[in-house]
Structure 1
Amino acid sequence: MTFFNHFWTRSTLTVALTVAIAACSSAPEKPQPAALPAVTGQLAVQKVWNHTVGAVTTPLLASVHGDQVAVASTLGQVVLINASTGQEVWRLKLDSLVQAGVGGDGQRFAVITQNNEVVAIEAGQVIWRHRLSAISHTPPLVAGGRVFVLTADRAVTALDGASGQKLWTQQRTGDPLVLQQAGLLIPFGDNLLAGWGGRLASLNPNTGAVRWETLVGSSRGTNEVERLVDLVAGVSRPGNTVCVRAFQSAVSCVDASRGNTLWTRPAQGHTGLDGDETLVFGAESDSKVVAWQRQSGQPAWTQEALRFRGLTAPLVLGRSVVLGDDKGSVHFLSRQDGQALQRLSTDGSAIVGKPVAAGQTLVVVTRTGGIFGFRPE
């Protein structure tokens, strides 16, 4: 997937206008991918269950809590699955299209509708709704008895988890365009980390007060589209180090305890990262997979055999780095050197969002709504 397959949003406090870049660009056709590399077969993986939830055409991500995983469809289906057994815990059909989600803490879950409403769910039932002033493409963060929301006008809002009452809002101005994909909103100790344009900010989750901000990606180019640098969902965060990606601009590691940038490297990707104590992994927009040294940011290895296959953000799982592609394949690469260990098929439609691990089960979701559980042996 290239830059021109993405959408951007022009956002104000009351209006969000979404336009496809492809409609106003003369982007070249996507290059044809090379033949898939042979796998070593060193890793055995078994499909253990599958479900359906309905088509996923908006920025929807799976939410994991222990052995349970929550998944939503754009048409409003929300399902909680026990990933160990494949059994549904509950399933709910909302009366609105879903724009962003799922966020959850294992008991309470939340999604955002295309009517700009936060919908909170417990035990398969809606417990409250809260209307936002702007659209959101980022899953709500449910933590500490609160629901936090990042909207396209670069506002972070905290809601009471039990009632939906607004507790505080903190906002930063920025470029008038934001990506129509999930942004960065995560907990870190007693901090709330949020992406504001190309900046990573730490907020007090109780008050919204800003503790620190650091620059990750700088605007560049001659027009609004080329200057997009929003931080994207998916980070690597062992210890006090948080490594993040600025859209089509940079990959950076930050000491989140102090807000100090440890290193920044130019990178042309649009999906998030994952990593371990020594390496950070990511896929560039041409589907080249790169591993960077966590301490220095120097490249450790590069895998080019999957180029132009529309890769998802990676998941570190055991000794593998797992990525989905736009044909429904799931690729397992060696964390050590990027060698192809295994490859699995789903339903032929694109893998959406990042593969996730729920307990011992790998879960992926497809564009047509297939939910697949795999278990490495």
Structure 2
Amino acid sequence: MIFKPFRPLALTLKASTAIVLIAFLGGCSLFGSSTKKPQPAELQPVVALVPAKQVWTARIGEVSFPLQANVSGDTVVVAATDGTVAALDARSGRDLWRTNVGAPIAAGVGSDGKVTAVVTRTNEVVALAGGKEIWRQKLAAQAFTSPFVAGGRVFVLAADRSVNAFDGQTGRKLWSQQRPSEPLVLRQSGVMLAVGDTLVAGLAGRLTGLNPLNGSIRWEAPIASPRGINDVERLVDLVGTVSRNGNTVCARAFQASVGCVDAQRGTLLWTKPANGAQGIDGDDRLVFGTEADGKVLAWRRTDGENAWNTDRLRYRSLSAPLVVGRSIAIGDSAGFVHLLSREDGSMLNRLATDGSPVAASPVLAGNVLIVVTRSGAVFGFAPE
């Protein structure tokens, strides 16, 4: 459900203090190590039980930031580090429009099909309509989470734990909600979505429900709590993507836990220890995730108990999963997309791209599975 338009309420926000950022990408460990890196599991031959073929490919430029490809109907919007933003026809891969925002991109892409927004490394939110810039606004801090566009507004989660709301057409700042910041945060995509008339954001280890009218907090539910004695050990952050089913939102706390929250009441349903760095996905029965060591797990949505797990993709630096029909699609650091059974994790197919790491969680537009690689290739796969 998308927010209905509402009256703006302007609030002021003082400039934030400097924060230290940690570049955690993929399944990296919190601590460096002199030990030899584990070798990725060798891929075994696979019988294509779920046939699929490549139907198109496109190029956008190298991707070295936490990209989230955005799907609106038959349009997928992607971006490259050099400032390129492109809307592609998901059926054919052809450009609907393409532009450059004039600065390297730090976070993107958010879109409601009309307004598209990214954040640059110069801490500016840039909004586009039909490939034309309509406004840009300066942020007080860096941002690594794609803007969320809904209800005629652009919402931005910044690295200083602030949530900012802008008018989608004019860029006028409507409000800002500032939460206590920590000395360390993740240089990784966080959590922001709408559930009914509530804006749900990941702030530190909590899912937080905000009133989109004015940014006031309606509820908070902890997925994980800080632990340890120093700043690194106490780092806790929620990472995108999330799994939503009705009012239930399930999310991952970086290298700590996975949990589900009733986003209507703001109550925690369950939480389980989990050592992963990427987001999750799910269906009405199960929640799926990849661990830092390459294990793939399924938890029961009702109570969080383990349904199955597989280690056939160990140490392959896996992406967040995506539910696709009776499969889950997971990208790896060698550019393969693995299709695993939702029922038991068995291998159903393997799709090859250009050999560079998959840059973001795959997305689905209609019946086309879309994958973006670090080298800037975009692939469309469809069932045969």
User: TM bucket by the smaller chain?
Assistant: over 0.9
SS in 2 for 1:232: strand
Note closer, same or farther for the CA distance 1:240–1:27 as it changes in structure 2 (3 Å cut). farther
After TM superposition, the score normalised by the length of structure 1 is 0.94
CA shift for structure 1 position 169: 0.4
Quick one: distance in 2 between partners of 1:174 and 1:373?
40
Cα displacement (A) at 1:20: 5.2
Partner residue, 2:110: 103
Deviations for 1:263-296, whole angstroms, at most 9, x for unmatched residues?
A: 1100000100100000000000111000001101
Which residue of the partner structure matches residue 135 of structure 2?
128
So what's the TM-score if we normalise by structure 2? 0.93
Mapping of residues 191-270 of structure 1, within 5 Å: 191-270=198-277
Q: How does 1:153-168 map to 2 (within 5 A)?
A: 153-168=160-175
Q: Using the alignment, how far apart are the partners of 1:207 and 1:34 within structure 2? A: 49
Q: Distance in 1 between matches of 2:22 and 2:217?
A: 32
State the alpha-carbon separation in 1 of the partners of residues 252 and 305 from structure 2.
Answer: 15
Q: Which one is further off, 140-149 or 89-98? A: 89-98
SS across alignment from 2:258: strand
Question: Kindly, what percent of the aligned residue pairs are identical?
Answer: 53
Q: SS where residue 61 of structure 2 aligns?
A: coil
Further displaced range: 40-49 or 16-25: 16-25
Asked if 1:115 is matched to 2:122, the reply is yes
Q: Distance in 2 between the 1:26 and 1:332 partners? A: 32
Name the CA shift for 1:253/1:19 in 2 (closer, same or farther; >3 Å).
Answer: closer
1:141 and 2:148 are equivalent in the alignment: yes
Match of 1:15 in 2: 18
The residue that corresponds to 1:297 in the other structure is 304
Equivalents in 2 of 1:109, 1:368: separation in Å? 23
How far, CA to CA, are the matches of 2:298 and 2:263 in structure 1? Answer: 21
Q: Secondary structure at the match of 2:245?
A: coil
Deviations 1:68-125 (A, max 9, x none): 1000001111100010122210000221011100000001100000000000001111
Match of 2:5 in 1: none
Match of 1:188 in 2: 195
Tell me, in whole angstroms, the C-alpha distance in 1 between the residues paired with 2:21 and 2:258. Answer: 26
Query: What SS does structure 2 have at the residue aligned with 1:271?
Result: coil
Give, as a single letter, the amino acid of the residue that structure 1 aligns with 2:361. K
Query: What is the SS of the residue equivalent to 1:56?
Result: coil
- How many pairs align? 366
- After superposition, what is the alpha-carbon deviation per residue over 1:127-160, rounded to whole angstroms, capped at 9, x for unaligned? 1000000000000001000000000000000000
Q: RMSD of the TM alignment (CA)?
A: 1.5
Is residue 360 of structure 2 the alignment partner of residue 353 of structure 1? Answer: yes
* Aligned residues of 1:30 and 1:308 also touching (Cα < 8 A): no
Which digits, 9 at most, give the CA deviation of each residue in 1:152-211, with x for residues without a partner?
A: 000000000000000000011042211000011111111000111001100001110110
Q: CA shift at 1:16, angstroms? A: 4.5
- Asked if 1 retains the 8 angstrom alpha-carbon contact of 2:22 and 2:185, the reply is no
Q: Is 1:77–2:69 an aligned residue pair?
A: no
- Mapped partners of 1:202, 1:17: distance in 2: 26
After superposition, give the CA deviation of every residue in 1:319-345 in whole Å (9 maximum; x if it has no partner).
000000001000000001100000011
Deviations 1:342-371 (A, max 9, x none): 001101100011100011110010001010
- Tell me the equivalent position of 2:177: 170
Q: CA deviation at 1:14?
A: 4.9
2:316 is matched with 309
Change (3 A) 1:56 1:16: farther
Q: Name the CA distance, whole Å, in 1 between partners of 2:365 and 2:373.
A: 17
Paired residue secondary structure (1:187): strand
Does structure 2 conserve the Cα–Cα contact (< 8 Å) formed by 1:38 and 1:340?
Answer: no
1:17-56 equivalence runs, <5 A: 17-18=20-21, 25-26=32-33, 28-56=35-63
Once residues 75 and 28 of structure 1 are traced to their aligned partners in structure 2, the CA distance between those partners, rounded to angstroms, is 35
CA distance in 2, matches of 1:196, 1:240: 19
Cα distance in 2 for partners of 1:336, 1:23 equals 32
Q: Which letter does structure 2 place at the counterpart of 1:149? A: V
Q: Please say if residues 19 and 184 of structure 2, whose CA atoms lie closer than 8 Å, have aligned partners that are also in contact.
A: no
The secondary structure found in structure 1 opposite 2:241 is: coil
Aligned to 1:90: 97
Corresponding residue for 1:5? none
| Separation in structure 1 between the aligned mates of residue 87 and residue 331 of structure 2, nearest angstrom | 22
Q: 1:278 to 1:288 in 2, by over 3 A?
A: same
Instruction: Give 1:114's aligned amino acid.
Output: R
Determine which of 365, 376, 380 is the counterpart of 1:369: 376
Assess, with a 3 A threshold, how the Cα gap between structure 1 residues 342 and 104 changes in structure 2: closer, same or farther: same
Note closer, same or farther for the CA distance 1:89–1:14 as it changes in structure 2 (3 Å cut): farther
Q: 1:278 matched to which residue of 2? A: 285
| C-alpha contact 1:201 1:214 (8 A) present in aligned 2 | yes
Deviation at 1:222, TM superposition (A): 2.8
List 4+ stretches of structure 1 deviating above 4 A: 19-24
The CA distance in 1 between the partners of 2:373 and 2:39, in whole Å, is: 21
* Contact 1:263/1:297 (8 A) holds in 2: yes
Q: Report the Cα offset of residue 24 of structure 1.
A: 7.7
Alignment correspondent of 1:8:
none
